[in-house]
Amino acid sequence: MSLLHATAHRLLTEDASTAWATIRTELQTQFFAPLGNGNAVEEVIRREKAIEPLELLLGGAAWTLWEEFAQQVPRGSARLLDWWHAGHGGKAVLVLDGLSAREVPVLVAEATKRGFFVGAPELCGSELPAETNAYAKALGFSHRGALDNNGAGGAHQVTGAHTLTNQLPWADLAQSIPPEPRLFVWHEWPDIRVHALAGHGSGIRELLPEIVQQLRSEDFWTLVAKLATGREVLITSDHGYADAGSFRDAEPDEKAYLRDNFGANRYRQGDLTSREWLPPLAITLDCPTGRWSMALGRTKWAVAGGNKTLSHGGLTLLETFVPFLTLSKI
């Protein structure tokens, strides 16, 4: 599918703020529409295919827009803190580690079916690099593990929160929710499955059916109902993930450069080696947690053991845009 000439022209000629607003609107239009009655997995894959021309433009002629991403796209961490500190009622955050834009229509449909009021969903920007520690630090936590068993202390910005983090099954987690008015729960799913399936040949075609099944399960919604008892609930994420198995294969000299700089990952701290590429294969940005280099666009490269089929931390749209969805009992 070709990118409309008018859209491409706007992204190449408008200021960064307008360009990123256009991109954000396009992503929300693509991924927020109801899935219908067909095969949900195939429909999500079709939607991701539809944004490939946009991804290619951002990895090519419009690559400099990534230098303005953190300044121009509303940050998910900042939106969370604004929501948390607005008003004085009960609130619960459920961070699903690695949840992406792909899963929003499933969440909206299931929440509506179960009688929740759903606020207008949004896509917000991840921290850069799009990984867990950067998000934790943006909220004032030292790392995700610090949240375990209300161990985060009082120095973070989610003030007054009782914190939890774990990998428990939904039903077990629901049983462990304390009767606190303000909760911050960070669950390691689906990121734990993204990493477990990253080396498998099928990748996203193994992952997506699992995600859809879990988000439609009664156990998951029992947990959400427990969180929503006396509280407004926010479901969000720290970062998305890339269907790296569908990316183009790097040319031999590109592969050597990417492998030498990143190994099997899509980000690293510090500067790149000196070779210049235009458009670049990766860029280096100053981020709140330091100076980081990130792979740019839809390119994959083999390391020992082959290509990763799922990954995060690089600069593509579904790695760097995250859901922001509020729910409450009607």
| Predicted confidence (pLDDT) per residue in 229-254, tens digit | 999 999 999 999 999 999 999 999 99
Residue 3 banded pLDDT, cuts 50, 70, 90: low
How much is the pLDDT for 2?
Answer: 54
Q: Is 28 a domain residue?
A: no
Q: Are 307 and 227 in contact (CB under 8 A)?
A: no
- Range in 3-7, 94-98, 130-134 the model is least confident about: 3-7
Q: Is 29 a domain residue?
A: no
Q: Is 263 a domain residue?
A: yes
Domain of residue 93 covers 74-330
Phi-psi sector, 39: left (phi>0), alpha (psi -120 to 50), beta: beta
% of the chain beyond a pLDDT of 70 = 98
- Range in 26-35, 183-192, 245-254, 270-279 the model is least confident about: 270-279
Distance, CA of 264 to CA of 278 (rounded, Å): 22
How much is the pLDDT for 315?
Answer: 98
Q: Is 45 a domain residue?
A: no
Q: Taking residues 293-322, report their average pLDDT.
A: 93
Burial of 91 (0-12, 13-18, 19+ CB in 10 A): buried
Q: Is 63 a domain residue?
A: no
State how many domains the chain has. Answer: 1
Q: Is 124 a domain residue?
A: yes
- Range in 133-142, 217-226, 267-276, 277-286 the model is least confident about: 267-276
Sign of the Cα pseudo-torsion (185, 188, 190, 191, in order): positive
Q: Are 51 and 31 in contact (CB under 8 A)?
A: no
Q: Is the pTM of this model over 0.75?
A: yes
How much is the pLDDT for 306?
Answer: 75
Q: Are 195 and 289 in contact (CB under 8 A)?
A: no
Q: Taking residues 96-124, report their average pLDDT.
A: 97
Q: Are 101 and 124 in contact (CB under 8 A)?
A: no
Q: Is 88 a domain residue?
A: yes
> What does the DSSP assignment read for 255-284?
HHHHHHHHTTSSEEESPPPS---SS-SEEE
Q: Is 50 a domain residue?
A: no
